[in-house]
A and B are shown apart, each in its own frame.
Chain A
């Protein structure tokens, strides 16, 4: 089997496993729902929801997406038992394994962050004026995070640590992408500015590519215990 075919089958298998274990997805959706409700309740209680700035909307949104992504990526490694890992060693190359993980995690994170966005619009109001820029920055940000945190979670899970270790290792590295994405995201609130394919977009794309390449290069060295 060639590389692409192997990755395709591995991705399908992972997705099937993910859908079979419904509690994992359900738990993550509940995680998002209760966090959004927590944000809604604290803002409502302070009486700032009516004239809330779009910036606050975006900060809360990205924090929730960040923590959801860490959970998605970490559980994708921590749920693999030792026996199953041994099975994978004999079955596929490390590149196939990590690439499939990257793709699956990006897909799940994307679904969850779109879900988060929908609940946000429903509960906290809709500050978005340009839905294309909104969706574009949401995709770039979420996929970038999931790529970064997939590798970091791989390290954290191998070290036998918990998801707090993944947070400690990953958050300083996620700040660059966050600062760019929040800037891009802010443009979607502004009705005047159209989409300009400027440096910010390229930088965000770069911060998607760098973790992807590094993960493919470095993962083969750490995947065997």
Chain B
């Protein structure tokens, strides 16, 4: 993983793909009957359909990072090294950052289409609970001074919380109906998936945001490792 994080090619790819998705996503017009290259013009959503290129890939990036953090936590418990703990922590922290970005982009979108920043929606509440769980993870980490003990407790909480959260994600849809696109007959991403123009920008955006999040996490983890080594040398 350390070697992969130091390579350049996928970071260059992230820049190219994100520039393509952001510039293209803002430049392509909505469909008014004559354009060749256009996004679908759906009622209610209108121009806010472009949020698909930010909100959804940011959530994907978050899920990807939290999954990596989960894997590193399992790997820590089976063969403990302090590097694995720093990976698990770093991926979770940047995962929270992307979760927060996903919530903010979603809130701005919700204000224009639903008329409120926050609604009592199962998907929103699910996201909020996920954020709470990982903020609790950070608090747990900061409450333990001993490095080995912190790594052990944080890894076990991470695994416990991740499994419980995944179980919850499967339960959510049973609780109530959702306003969220893709539920209960609302204009949905499944119908955009059929749209080739949107797909042309959505897939690069997804790969780009995930690669960017990996890049940020890599820098964050390496900086933290250097900081830790400096502290050790001082003592």
Contacts and interface: CB of A to CB of B under 8 A. Distances in A.
Contacts of A215: 160
Q: Is the interface of A mostly helix, strand, loop or mixed?
A: helix
B32 interface: no
Contacts of A169: 136, 139-140, 157
A218 B140 CA distance: 17
B81 to A, nearest CB: 14
B77 A221 contact: yes
Nearest to B141: A159
B235 interface: no
Interface in B61-87: 77
A203 interface: yes
Given A160-B144, A218-B156, A225-B149, A211 B175 contact: no
Contacts of B229: none
Contacts of A211: 160, 164
Nearest to B163: A214
Contacts of A183: 175
Contacts of A160: 143-144
A149 B159 CA distance: 15
Contacts of B37: none
A209 B67 CA distance: 22
Contacts of B136: 168-169, 172
Interface string A168-202: 11011101100110010000000000000001100
Interface string B129-142: 10011001001100
A60 B231 CA distance: 49
A214 B140 CA distance: 18
B167 A210 contact: yes
A165 interface: yes
A171 B167 CA distance: 16
A155 B153 contact: yes
Contacts of A218: 77, 156, 159-160
Q: Is the interface of B mostly helix, strand, loop or mixed?
A: helix
A207 interface: yes
Contact of B156 (A175, A180, A207, A221): A221
A161 interface: yes
Interface string B153-195: 1011101110111011001001100000000000000000000
Interface string A136-171: 000000000000100110010011110001001101
B143 A173 contact: no
A222 B153 contact: yes
A206 interface: yes
Contact of B129 (A168, A175, A203, A210): A175
Interface of B: 77, 129, 132-133, 136, 139-140, 143-144, 149-150, 152-153, 155-157, 159-161, 163-165, 167-168, 171, 174-175
Given A159-B144, A173-B160, A210-B164, 12 more contacts: A152-B160, A159-B140, A159-B143, A160-B144, A172-B136, A173-B133, A173-B164, A176-B129, A179-B171, A179-B175, A214-B160, A215-B160
Interface of A: 148, 151-152, 155, 158-161, 165, 168-169, 171-173, 175-176, 179-180, 183, 199-200, 203, 206-207, 210-211, 214-215, 218-219, 221-222, 225
